[in-house]
């Protein structure tokens, strides 16, 4: 009986491990490599800005900070699509708390609120009134992340100032806080846009985006943006980069996410097959041996352990 019990346990355990390995290979890849729909994070950037003083008509140089707040709308998001509300501002840094100040604050340089929907697998934005109002500006390309298993190629990348997608071209591989990153470059030159409310001008921008190719997470971004009036007068020269703390936080978050994915997609199948199959076979062997033993008339262990009947006791 002990052999039978132990064999049954091993068969059940082995079967469980093998099934878990199959599920990890068949079901898990489509489900663990998805943009989460419980996002609520703030990205902090530091930099410098030469900006036009409307009163003097001259450029002034000031340290600045920028915030990008990404929040998912869990009510509108579903298994395939994540809906985001993105709040971005650039503020002159006078030592105040790092928040997006009101529109009346003279330290505010730019402020944008954007709503978009993105495929949870490819990270590409899509336009469907099921997720965003039909009157919302149509969005194309990537925005706040790259796809899982990013490639050394060119991706379309959304530029809110232009209101369209531009090329983000793979440039090189480097590291951010010890984690490998693919660097993609966006280069916009002499674009005709609205550089101030109601004022047309010229827009230049060079941006480098550092991506963890495993998860598609943005680990760092550097930007050098200029804006000019039609007559060539420069009204903004903006340089920004993720703060050191933000870079570390993005790296830590991406590494943790990948560790979780790696366990499900790689470790679990190896353990499941390498351990599960032998355990299952050993269990079957124990069950088979137990049946053969009984078939040969061997006395079960329980019967052998029964105490002998005392001499002179009559059988009933």
Q: What is the pLDDT of residue 297?
A: 54
Q: Are strands 179-196 and 218-229 parallel, antiparallel or unpaired?
A: unpaired
pTM for the model stands at 0.81
In angstroms, rounded to a whole number, what is the distance separating the alpha carbons of residues 53 and 94? 16
> What does residue 205 show for φ and ψ, rounded to 5 degrees?
-155, 135
The sign one gets for the Cα dihedral 286, 292, 294, 300 is: negative
Contact criterion met (CB below 8 Å) for 250 and 242: yes
- pLDDT averages per 10-residue partition of the chain, 316 residues: 65 65 58 87 97 85 96 94 96 94 92 95 95 91 97 97 96 98 98 91 98 97 96 95 98 94 71 65 70 57 52 46
Q: What is the pLDDT of residue 285?
A: 73
- Identify the CA nearest to 238 among candidates 30, 71, 93: 93
């Amino acid at each position: 009986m002990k052999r039978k019990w132990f064999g049954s346990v091993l068969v059940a355990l082995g079967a469980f491990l093998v099934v878990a390995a199959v599920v990890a290979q068949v079901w898990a890849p489509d489900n663990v490599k998805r943009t989460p729909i419980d996002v609520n994070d703030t990205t902090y950037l530091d930099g410098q800005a030469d900006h036009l003083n409307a009163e003097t008509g001259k450029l002034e140089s000031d340290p600045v900070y920028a915030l990008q707040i990404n929040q998912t709308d869990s009510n509108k998001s579903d298994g395939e699509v994540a809906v985001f509300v993105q709040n971005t501002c650039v503020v002159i840094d006078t030592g105040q708390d790092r928040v997006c100040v009101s529109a009346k604050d003279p330290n505010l340089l730019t402020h944008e609120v954007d709503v978009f929907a993105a495929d949870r697998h490819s990270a590409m934005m899509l336009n469907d009134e099921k997720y965003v109002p039909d009157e919302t500006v149509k969005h194309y390309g990537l925005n706040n992340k790259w796809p899982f298993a990013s490639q050394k190629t060119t991706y379309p990348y959304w530029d809110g100032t232009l209101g369209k997608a531009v090329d983000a071209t793979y440039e090189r591989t480097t590291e951010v806080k010890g984690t490998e990153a693919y660097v993609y470059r966006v280069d916009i030159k002499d674009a005709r846009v609205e550089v101030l409310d109601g004022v047309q001008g010229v827009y230049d921008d060079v941006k480098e985006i550092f991506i963890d190719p495993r998860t598609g997470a943005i680990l760092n971004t550097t930007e050098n943006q200029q804006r000019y009036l039609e007559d060539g007068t420069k009204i903004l020269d903006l340089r920004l980069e993720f703060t050191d703390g933000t870079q570390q936080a993005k790296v830590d978050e991406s590494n943790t996410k990948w560790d979780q994915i790696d366990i499900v997609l790689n470790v679990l199948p190896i353990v499941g097959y390498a351990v599960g199959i032998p355990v299952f076979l050993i269990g079957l062997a124990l069950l088979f041996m137990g049946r053969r033993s009984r078939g040969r008339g061997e006395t079960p262990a329980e019967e052998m352990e029964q105490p002998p009947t005392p001499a002179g006791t009559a059988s009933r």
